[in-house]
Structure formats: C-alpha cells, structure tokens
Amino acid sequence: MTRTEERLRDALLTAASRVQDDALRPLAAPGRRIPEYAPRAASRRRTWLPPLAAAASVALIAIAVVAVAGYLQHRNNAPAPTSPAAGPPRYYATLEGNNRTNLEEVIVRATATGAVVTRVPDPVSPLPRGTGTAAPPSSTATPNPNASLMQPLDIATTDDRTFYVVYGIQTVTGYGDLVIESFRLSNAGQPSPLIQVNGGQLSGQGTTRAGGSWVNPRIGGFAVSPDNGKIALALKASSSSTTSDEILVIDTRTGSHAVWRGGLDRPNAAFAILGLSWTSDGRSLAFLAQWCSPPQRAFSNTGSDVCGGATRSAQVRELDTTSAGGSLSSARLLLAQSARYPYIARALISPDGTSLTAILLSGPVPPGTGLGPNAPERLSVVRISVGTGTVTATFFQGVDPVSVWSTLTADSSGRYLMLTHTDVSLRSDDTRYAVGWIDAGHFRQLPLNPDGQPVAW
C-alpha cells in the first residue's frame, strides 16, 4: 500500500469514527397513514404508510410537457385559451448539476429535442473577492474563506425568451442575500448578458450552515407576471421561519416591494406556500397553501418541502396584488382539499382567472403491485372550474407511485403545461427527469439531462 493509500484510509476511518451509533437520530418507521391520502377502503389494507417526506425525498424528478392544444377543445369541449399559441415554447430553461464541475448551472434546452442550446454563465458575486475561490470545482486549491459565488436557486419565465433566475450568494459561512437576474435569448438561442432586476436584491433570506451543512434559502414559489412588471416569490417571513411562509411581490419598474404574511397560521401546524401563478392582467396571484400537522421536520437537509409523515391539508387562494401588501388571509379561497380532492399537489390559475389547472393525487396503490402504500396510485392533471369546483377537463392521468413532490408550470398562454413529478428508478434511486409530451394521456419522452431541477417554461 502506498503512502497515499495509507493516509487516505487513515483519514476516512478517523472521520467515520466520529459517527457514533448511539448518537444517531433513530430511523423514522414508515407507519403513519396520511388521512387525506387514503380513502376509507384503504383502511383494510396495510396501515404502515411511509412518510410523505420520504417519498418526496426519493424524488426522482420527471418533467413532462403537457400539450393540450386542440386536444382540450375536442375532447373536453374546453373554452379557448386566452391567447392563441402557435405551439409550445421553443425553449425552456432548467437548473442542472454539471457532472464535471458539480456546480449548478442554468441551461437552456430546445423543446423539440431536449438538446442543450446554451449554458448561461453565473453572474459575478457582488461580494469582494479574495484570491482563490470559494468552491473550486475540481481543482486542489484550498477554498478561500473570503470568496463567494452565485448559485442559481430557482428560475422562471414569461415566454420562451426572457428568463429570470434567483441566485443565492454563497460564502463559506452560508447563503447571504438573494439576487434576481434576467437574461433574454436571441432567436438563435444565444443569451444576453445577465441584468439585475430592479428591486431584485433581497436581504433577510440568508441561511447559515448548521453542523457544517449548507442549507438553501427557502423559495416556495417564483413567478413573473405576463407583462414582466411584477415578480412574486414565496420566501421565509423571518429568520426563524423554516418554510416559505410569505409572499413578496417586486414591482420591477419602481423596485418597490409589497409583502403578504401571516393570517393563515394554524395551531400546531407548519404553514408553507408552494407554487405561484399569475393571471394575465398581472393583478391576481394564485398560491397553494399547505399545512403540515404536527409540524414535523421533513428531511430539510435534502431539500424536501413535503410533510414528513404528517397530516396534510391544502388550499388554493388568490391574492389581489394591487394593494401594498397585508395579510395572506385576504387572499380569496378558490379551492380546498376535500374528500373530492384528497391531495392537491400543485395548482395554477388560468390566465383569465376562471379555472385552475391542478395536479391531483389519489391513492392508495392496490395490493400486489409491489409498491408501498405511501404511494398514491393515480396522478391526474385536471382543470377545475373556480366557479363550480368541478373538473372540466382532464389533461393527463397515470399511475405515478411517488408523486407527492410535484411541480406544474404553464407557458404564457396557459395552454402548454410542464409537469414535474417523481419517477421511480428501482435500480438507481437517483434523480432523473425526462421531457415529453402528454397528448391524450400518452406520454412521449424526449431526451434530457438526467438530473433535473426547477424549470422555466
């Protein structure tokens, strides 16, 4: 054995020896059923229901492009979309891990093929730089404690040309301010230089490493109004918040901020906002409110926002953003979780505000399928009338066993949807995603980078 091998073995064994068996947090037994999740008939089946957060943490993300043009009107007699769309967006952007550098980066891909169109360089950190770098990707240089870098955390777009990215300023001590930058693609798919959005520097969202672990800032939603005049984010209301529990709206013309917080808290429950969407007039903002009771820690270190083995309830609400801010309780209730809609995973408001497009989950998995009972059998993407609360169109249905962690985004017309849901890989148990069309319930996959992140569509 060489000297290097000896030193390596010694260092590994020593580092590993710091982990003491008797000091480990016990493994959470998958045994609690989620009442909203399991219909009455399920009570006769297995009662050990692994925690939702576990399913989310398995999250192997698959991204689907739901094409509903034509199909909607023919099959469901649906109303015409607010604005005609000649087709789906030509480009979409994602945050993906670079296998070479192990850094996140903004990548623009072509919808038609999934091919990489361009990679967007990260902006330069506004913090002073020392020599060296905060996180040398694959060099052997010593990290510089005075340096910083910009990490993309979320991304949004109003069309397939103008994209907005939330960057976190990462230093050795943790994350500092958030900065929103935008870029525009040329017809050839080349990005313009990044420009910081007016009012797009956000303080108070930083995180400090805990136990040596980086904790990403909580961004529960990120959406830009169709006229690019407002940017909405779901963020932490205070440094003590553990979830995204306030909505911040930035007026990009003036740089002013309006904040909505409080009013929807419930005793012994963790409140979180998941997902934001605008109406076409840029006045109303829809959000999904989620309560986890009891407020159980849910694998925060792995980035999951899902209730950890807890009872979950949800509502979809509509906020009038023309005011200067206020309480979240001022938001109008559009849809509530119920026996009819036992699990509203995500919801978007239509451009005209008359309907919601939602990811609904229902379960449980029938016995004998080999899938655990925490996995809902069905995933549906449907349109629900705000006025009547009834389903007026079904865009997609499928068996999706661990889709409790899902996202849904729409293009500016509201006609084309991008669905992010889990995709189980028994062999690799790794994050994967694919882009494809869902047309009349048929999923047609496109080639894609196997490690998916938020998508702007």
Near other proteins in 101-130, by CB under 8 A: 101-104
Look up residue 17 and give its two tokens. Answer: 């020896």
Nearest Cα residue to 456 out of 168, 154, 192 = 154
DSSP 8-class letter at 367: T
Question: Taking CB under 8 A as the criterion, which residues in 197-236 touch other proteins?
Answer: 209-214, 216
Binding segment toward other proteins, per CB under 8 A, in 54-62, 250-258, 284-292, 411-419: 54-62
Look up residue 138 and give its two tokens. Answer: 């694959």
Sign of CA dihedral 88, 89, 95, 99: positive
Which of 120, 319, 424, 435 forms a contact with other proteins (CB under 8 A)? 424
Binding segment toward other proteins, per CB under 8 A, in 26-34, 246-254, 271-279, 316-324: 26-34
The C-alpha atoms of residue 444 and residue 421 are separated, in whole angstroms, by 15
One-letter amino acid of 411:
D
For residue 52, the minimal CB distance to other proteins (Å) is: 9
Which of 115, 256, 429, 441 forms a contact with other proteins (CB under 8 A)? 429
Which of 38, 347, 453, 455 forms a contact with other proteins (CB under 8 A)? 453
Which of 34, 106, 134, 435 forms a contact with other proteins (CB under 8 A)? 134
Nearer to other proteins, 322 or 428 (CB): 428
Nearer to other proteins, 358 or 371 (CB): 371
Q: Do 197 and 182 form a contact (C-beta atoms < 8 A)?
A: yes
For residue 137, the minimal CB distance to other proteins (Å) is: 6
For residue 60, the minimal CB distance to other proteins (Å) is: 8
One-letter amino acid of 237:
A
CA 199 to chain centre: 23
Nearer to other proteins, 220 or 401 (CB): 401
Question: Taking CB under 8 A as the criterion, which residues in 150-169 touch other proteins?
Answer: 151, 168
Q: Do 296 and 230 form a contact (C-beta atoms < 8 A)?
A: no
Question: Taking CB under 8 A as the criterion, which residues in 357-396 touch other proteins?
Answer: 370-372, 374-375
Binding segment toward other proteins, per CB under 8 A, in 96-104, 182-190, 283-291, 382-390: 96-104
Question: Taking CB under 8 A as the criterion, which residues in 397-416 touch other proteins?
Answer: 401-402
Burial class of 59 by CB neighbour count within 10 A (0 to 12, 13 to 18, 19+):
buried
Nearer to other proteins, 101 or 390 (CB): 101
Which of 77, 131, 140, 238 forms a contact with other proteins (CB under 8 A)? 140
Query: Is residue 131 a contact point for other proteins (CB under 8 A)?
Result: no
φ/ψ of residue 79, rounded to 5: -70, 155
Nearer to other proteins, 97 or 189 (CB): 97
Q: Do 238 and 293 form a contact (C-beta atoms < 8 A)?
A: no
CB atoms within 10 A of CB 188: 7
Query: Is residue 74 a contact point for other proteins (CB under 8 A)?
Result: no
Question: Taking CB under 8 A as the criterion, which residues in 246-305 touch other proteins?
Answer: 299-303
φ/ψ of residue 328, rounded to 5: -65, -20
Query: Is residue 310 a contact point for other proteins (CB under 8 A)?
Result: no
Q: Do 381 and 357 form a contact (C-beta atoms < 8 A)?
A: yes
φ/ψ of residue 300, rounded to 5: -60, -30
Applying CB under 8 A, the site for other proteins has a residue count of 82
